[in-house]
Amino acid sequence: MMDYEFKVKTANERTKVEDLFDYEGCKVGRGTYGHVYKARRKDGPDMNREFALKQIEGTGLSMSACREIALLRELKHPNVINLIRVFLSHNDRKVWLLFDYAEHDLWHIIKFHRAAKANKKPVMVPKAMVKSLLYQILDGIHYLHSNWVLHRDLKPANILVMGEGSERGRVKIADMGFARLFNAPLKPLADLDPVVVTFWYRAPELLLGARHYTKAIDIWAIGCIFAELLTSEPIFHCRQEDIKTSNPYHHDQLDRIFNVMGFPLEKDWEDIRKMPEHPTLLKDFKRSNYSNCSLVKYMDRHKIKPDTRAFNLLQKLLLMDPNKRITSEQAMQDGYFKEEPLPTQDVFSGCTIPYPKREFITDEDQEDKSDTNKARQNQANNGGQGGQSADSHGHNHGHGSNAKRVRLTAPPHPNNGAGMVQQQPPEFHHVTQQGMIYTSQANTQQGNFSQRF
């Protein structure tokens, strides 16, 4: 009896989310994991600070939630989302996770640019922004891999970007629900979860049933994201009607990869014969059907030439053989990051952010969206990007010869000789596809990023 009374007393004294934060009517995300709310403290010194409250679906702690909490409590890096606190509600057995609030993500950023293309006003993600985004993604993943963690679900929706504030323009890798430790090489990771990573970003070895996969699966996903930033279109989009299948083999996804990359040759990927689904691959596909397909041709259609450093790095990230795929550390040392413009800590380069803020959603909105899922999947085949959840996703237009390039100097990043540079107040120049130069004095007023569009 005393134990019960003590339990009730402790529960009543436990800090409650609703007592500390205002979040009602501020839902910004909904997915299989639960709900995400934009929240502010009701009182205290940081009342103006914005937080993200993630309510885990169901009661108690799922294995996915336990995994995410356990990892995030240990992982601390500028490019990995920071778990501030965990709340356990005794009355309804709900679990809440408190994070810093990120106003943007790559899914919405790319959607913004893809919509411009659809309206016949093509506006690509700025060259400098692509480079800064990619560098920070690699930096965060290098940290995870150095700590024996595979993310396993990298996609644009899980790459957050901070809005206005002290960490403006900083990339945050989020959603560690599928993350795994890989420090036990004799234990097949496929035994833990046979299917990982959203199909469009899934490495070919996973699609062929690999059981002992490596951190190279994250590198492939980063390559997919890089290509999407360069073109505003998902590079390996395909139909996803059977997205929830437990079978790792996916014919349509492999077909899409081969239509872009070409059919893999055994001389280029010797271990392909060891893949569990290799017999099925030989039965379902004819190499001759893809003889005219290559990454060079695909990217050339998007005005990305094979002699650019961007293409060279992309090719290393998207090698079919996982053993030959570049590592995150090697990628950060690539010459792409050592040529102007250098990557910056603020991916928006100190300019006004043109992307809209997250909208609050209601349960009715979610019902409406579920009714249009099939329509979005059909649109995906025409360049759309269906199949994404709200988890919280340019042309090679270089600077003209007359454009002044500004190198922002700062101490080099410890992981890269090229380094990410601190944002400073010199002039910022950007050349649009039409070759018009917009100039702003950052020391007198903030650059107008939206002018570039």
Are both 86 and 154 inside the same structural domain? no
How many other C-beta atoms lie within 10 A of the C-beta of residue 378? Answer: 12
Where does residue 321 rank: exposed (0-12), middle (13-18), buried (19+ CB within 10 A)? middle
Are both 153 and 74 inside the same structural domain? no
As averages over each run of 10 residues, the pLDDT of the chain (453 residues) reads 61 76 90 84 88 86 84 96 90 88 97 90 92 99 97 96 96 92 64 62 96 94 99 91 69 97 96 96 97 98 97 99 98 98 95 93 62 47 38 37 31 47 42 30 38 39
> What does each C-alpha distance from 419 to 161, 310, 334, 345 come to in angstroms?
19, 17, 11, 10
Rounded distance, CA 241 to CA 452, Å?
38
Are both 89 and 128 inside the same structural domain? no
Question: Is the previous residue joined to 341 through a cis bond, with omega within 30 degrees of 0?
Answer: yes
Are both 49 and 133 inside the same structural domain? no
Are both 90 and 108 inside the same structural domain? no
Report the CATH number at residue 30: 3.30.200.20
How is residue 437 written in tokens?
């130069």
Are both 165 and 134 inside the same structural domain? yes
Residue 38, phi then psi, degrees to nearest 5 = -85, 125
Domain assignment present for 181: yes
Residue 391, phi then psi, degrees to nearest 5 = -75, 110
- pLDDT attached to residue 184: 65
* Residue range of the domain that includes 94: 15-100
Rounded distance, CA 98 to CA 89, Å?
13
- pLDDT attached to residue 244: 53
List 100, 139, 153, 346, catalytic entry: 153
- pLDDT attached to residue 443: 34
Domain assignment present for 29: yes
Are both 159 and 189 inside the same structural domain? yes
Report the CATH number at residue 210: 1.10.510.10
Domain assignment present for 133: yes
> What does each C-alpha distance from 139 to 52, 132, 333 come to in angstroms?
23, 10, 11
Domain assignment present for 453: no
- pLDDT attached to residue 275: 96
Q: Is 334 a catalytic residue?
A: no
* Residues 6 or more apart whose Cβ sits within 8 Å of residue 240: 199, 200, 377, 380, 386, 387
Domain count, the chain: 2
- Contact present, 449 and 354 (Cβ < 8 Å): yes
Rg of the chain (C-alpha set): 23
> H helices within 234-362, ranges in order?
251-261, 278-284, 295-301, 309-317, 328-332
Domain assignment present for 217: yes
54 is in an annotated binding site: yes
Rounded distance, CA 332 to CA 412, Å?
13
- Contact present, 39 and 50 (Cβ < 8 Å): yes
- pLDDT attached to residue 436: 28
Short-list 294, 302, 287, CA closest to 318: 294
- pLDDT attached to residue 273: 96
In this prediction the pTM is 0.80
- pLDDT attached to residue 245: 61
Domain boundary among 275, 310, 337: 337
Are both 203 and 330 inside the same structural domain? yes
| DSSP H or E run through 21 | strand 21-22
- pLDDT attached to residue 118: 86
SS (H, E, C) 144-198: HHHCCEECCCCCHHHEEECCCCCCCCCEEECCCCCCEECCCCCCCHHHCCCCCCC
- Contact present, 203 and 150 (Cβ < 8 Å): no
> What does each C-alpha distance from 21 to 170, 288, 296, 398 come to in angstroms?
24, 60, 51, 46
Are both 299 and 286 inside the same structural domain? yes
Domain assignment present for 419: no
Domain assignment present for 433: no
How is residue 399 written in tokens?
């600077």
- pLDDT attached to residue 9: 60
Domain boundary among 280, 311, 337: 337
Are both 110 and 95 inside the same structural domain? no
Domain boundary among 100, 132, 162: 100
- pLDDT attached to residue 269: 97
How many other C-beta atoms lie within 10 A of the C-beta of residue 130? Answer: 20
- pLDDT attached to residue 213: 84
Are both 141 and 75 inside the same structural domain? no
* Residues 6 or more apart whose Cβ sits within 8 Å of residue 330: 316
Are both 265 and 121 inside the same structural domain? yes
